[in-house]
Chains A and B, each alone.
Chain A
Amino acid sequence: MRFKKIVVLKLLFFFALSLVLLHSLPAQTFDTMKKQVKVHTLSNGMKFIVLERHEAPVVSFHVYADVGSANEVAGITGISHILEHMAFKGTKIVGTKDYAAESKILDEVDALYDDIKREKAKPQPDAAKIKELEENFAALEKKAKEYVINNEYFDMMMKEGDQGVNAYTSNDATQYINSLPSNKVEFWMAMTSDRFLHPVFREFYKEKDVVMEERRLGLETQPMGKLLEDFYATAFKAHPYHHDVVGHMSDLQAITRKDVHDYFQKYYSPSNLTVGIVGDVNPEEAFRLAELYFNRIPSGPKPEPIRTIEPEQWGERHVTVEAKSQPILIVGYHHPDVRSKDTNALDALANIMGRGRSSRLYQVLVKDKKVAVNVVGINGFPGDKFPNLVAFYAMPSTGHTSAECLDLIEAEVEKIKQELVTPEELTKFKRGAVKSYINQMKANDNMAALLTYADVVQGDWTQLFDQIQEINAVTADDVKRVANAYLFKKNRTVGEIVPEKGS
């Protein structure tokens, strides 16, 4: 008798459950994942967020340092990115044949560099002296190089099968990624804790040369790169979003190894590092190893937040870049950071205006008027931890101008401020957002990135999942409200590439 009752109850439960499942499929996926996430913070403040999943015997690791080009001031622009490069140069153990001997020479090299800088800065520099100093510098660098094991960090990681070893710097963060077979978790712990415990910024001056080439490659030789640099500088007169992540060339030339060391001390304390680990891993074991390896990094104060807040624009701003290129147009409007209550409505606005062939701007500029071959709406530009921009980018079609594109964009902006968006447009945005998150979450490395971003920038890793409900709650009134709140001329910056003669 008792047995039968239990069976019936079980059947009822599963039936009810299946009904729920049928109507909230994405919700089920998110809920399941959310429940799987485990978190542990070391006593030195370093936080580990672990999601266990066993699709394949691999694990992705993501170290999120809460420092980016937005933390930089004039004179050290580009330093966050230089530091990222330096993090691959090894430590007292990795990358050197004899650190004790090497470190003495490195200090001498730095001292010579300072001497050269000092001499060059004089109103009447002594050319002969500079030449001599530079020759000594080159000789000392060569001597220091004898102790270096070229790219040993990379070699050691790749040898163990690190598929994704890399890093990237943005306005808001510096992020280090690795993906290893799952029987090498402790190896990652050993290498990475060593990396942030006692890094050695060797081959510093040569690596600065590499970064300068990177600036030429991605910015100075590309019309679009130049446009973006000038666009940020114009839209942001005060806040450090005004300079490009790669930094100004003169700063790159002037930054010293001591600058980088000081910056590292200030911004890489364990309380400023968050680690995401996703894949075939046991969370308890991961936490045990994290304690063992990372707790030896001494705790330090959380760095002072940046001080400068971008004030309101006093008028519309316009910047042109002359280049041997066909025209390109960007229009951007200021709005609050990603934690604001307006964030999802602004994402909806960017999506409805400029994502996909059925978006408003694409319909008008590309399909109807044929003045552009592409037009896109983007939000969270250039970063989103601080107040940033919603922007529209257009590439005019041959024979048409940025001015024509701008006129049509303005007309659509006015329209979206007057009329409510349609239910279909809202559905497009919401379903698109949900689908995009699901797809991003499939890969371990993306998931680790999402978890750390949510924790550091959005305030809590749970927000990654909770925001789905917030996205689904955006109304047409919300979109109208934010359009009126932020899309007005005084608040906008227009940037364009203007073809040079002979383009």
Chain B
Amino acid sequence: MKNLTRKTLILTLAALFCFAAVSLAQKSPKDKFVFGPLNPIKLPQIEKVELANGLTLYLVEDHDYPTIDMRAMVRTGSVYEPADKIGLAAVCGQALRTGGTQTKTGDEIDKELETLAATVETGIGQTSGYIMISVLKEDVDHALAILADILMNPAFREEKIELAKIQQRTTISRRNDNIMPIAFREFTKLVYGKDSPYARSTEYSTIAAITRQDLVDFYKAYFYPNNTIMAVWGDFDSKAMAGKIKQTLGQWKPGKVVIPPLPKVDYAYKYTVNFISKPDVNQSNILIGHIGGLMDNPDYPALSVMNSILSFDRMFKKIRTDEGLAYAVWGDYEANYRHPGIFSSGAQTKSESTVYAIELMLKEMKRITEQEVTDQELSKAKDTYLNSYVFNFDSRAQIVNRLMTYAYFGYPLDFMEKVKAGVEKVTKADVLRVAKEYLKPDKVQILVVGKEADFDKPLKTFGEVNVIDITIPPPPQPPPQKK
């Protein structure tokens, strides 16, 4: 009796389960969906290896594809170049790769690598230098050998320095040809200061002042294994790969490195209205904002939620969808790892709606500092973040590079999990609090690039206008020849 009842029960339950698992009717998009549990996220094993010369490696195996990639960060940056030689770091980073080595010219290296479809690159950005390798796995030994040669015996041949300088000069001559780069460049200068290492532009004079010795000195100041961390991912055995790197880059000699502190940013909030004339366009580029912040601010999770709402639910929905005024429009309080970011709200709108668009953007900026966001806005912003969180783990490349970046900037390796925990707790009151504290709609800097003759109203509607002259300073004249 007992057995029969149990058997019946089990069969009934099984039948019910099968019936429930198979939907027989289509759900409407707005029906309640009950989502099954998410399959587990596979966290890859990351091997950390520190070589005797100080080079730190983070290795992750990936046997799905026959490729190997490496990306290293070197503690350096254009922020450390002298003010009279702006562009030095970029030229150094480029010439390091293109200038060849003691035994091979840059052209020979280019050909050797490209025939293998192997990529080996170096460069220097604002707050870090990078080295990268990308190869089909059978070429990794070859690529490592070339990279080691480049890093240990760079030749910095004059011919390639001159080529890099030609590119820099050409970039300078073209820097006012397109409206958006003008707007971003000049807005960055307004926020950080035009002479700030985070904003300053290369000029013909600064490029001319760079000598080969400058490049060599810059390379010698920073390019050491003990000043470099490297992420390595692909189809290899970690131990064997570490061995290969040890054999090649392990020969790279360590050196004494003095890293200057990152330049400070001393921002004084002020309300300014700025204009750059570009009479050949029929659409204005608008940027409004001030200084941003740092990611290790405990308010970063709340600010992230605020950004999501400000950008999409406020700026996009109002200025793009409701008003049809712009294709791209946003509001974003940017936070960087070690130097403050920029808070900006931007849009591009036809000349005839320039002032109207700015008024709407300012209104939205003010609104989020005055009223709490709605329950719906808050839950959607949090759900968007939390439900897409899994995508942070969709490739090993992403995982290991993130780890390396946190290590480089001295952030805890579980930083992202901490942010997630923070986002989970954010309330409407938090969003209002951080909006009030960090956004200053009355003390923004407004920049408009465009054709003022076609504006709906004069820009001075917003206050006294500072006209910015972006004429490119001419190249330095050669000294007069002595007879």
Contacts and interface: CB of A to CB of B under 8 A. Distances in A.
Interface of A: 25-26, 28-29, 54-58, 91, 93-94, 145, 150-151, 154-156, 158-163, 179, 181-184, 186-187, 190-191, 193-194, 203, 205-214, 216-217, 220-224, 280, 288-289, 292-293, 296, 323-326, 356-359, 363, 366-367, 370, 373, 395-398, 424-425, 427-428, 431-432, 434-435, 438-439, 441-444, 500, 503
B26 A293 contact: yes
A356 B114 contact: yes
Contacts of B316: 151
B117 A56 contact: no
Contacts, number: 237
B38 interface: yes
B115 to A, nearest CB: 5
Contacts of B64: 29, 55, 442
B36 interface: yes
Interface of B: 22-23, 26-31, 33, 35-42, 64-67, 98, 107, 110-111, 113-117, 134-138, 163, 166-167, 169-171, 173-174, 176-179, 280-283, 312, 316-317, 320-328, 348-350, 379-380, 383-384, 386-391, 393-395
A57 B163 contact: no
A57 B166 contact: no
B325 A424 contact: no
Contacts of A434: 117, 136
A182 B39 contact: yes
Nearest to B389: A161
A58 B65 contact: no
A30 B291 CA distance: 49
B282 A221 contact: yes
Contacts of A214: 327
Nearest to A443: B395
B380 A194 contact: no
A444 B321 CA distance: 30
B391 A29 contact: no
Question: Which of A25, A191, A396: most chain B Cβ within 10 A?
Answer: A25
B39 A183 contact: yes
A96 to B, nearest CB: 11
A444 B117 contact: no
A161 B323 CA distance: 27
Given A163-B388, A163-B391, A213-B325, A194 B29 contact: yes
A150 B114 contact: no
Contacts of A208: 324
A61 B316 CA distance: 25
Given A93-B28, A213-B350, A216-B283, A427 B115 contact: yes
A207 B386 CA distance: 30
A181 B390 contact: yes
Contact of A222 (B41, B110, B178, B387): B178
A207 B348 CA distance: 15
Contact of B327 (A58, A210, A435): A210
Contacts of A367: 107, 163
Given A222-B178, A323-B280, 20 more contacts: A26-B66, A55-B64, A150-B321, A161-B389, A163-B388, A210-B326, A214-B327, A221-B179, A280-B39, A293-B26, A324-B280, A326-B174, A356-B110, A357-B107, A358-B110, A367-B107, A428-B115, A431-B117, A431-B136, A442-B65
B41 A160 contact: no
A-B pairs with lowest CB-CB distance, top 10:
A161-B387, A209-B324, A431-B117, A57-B39, A206-B324, A216-B283, A25-B66, A161-B388, A325-B177, A214-B327
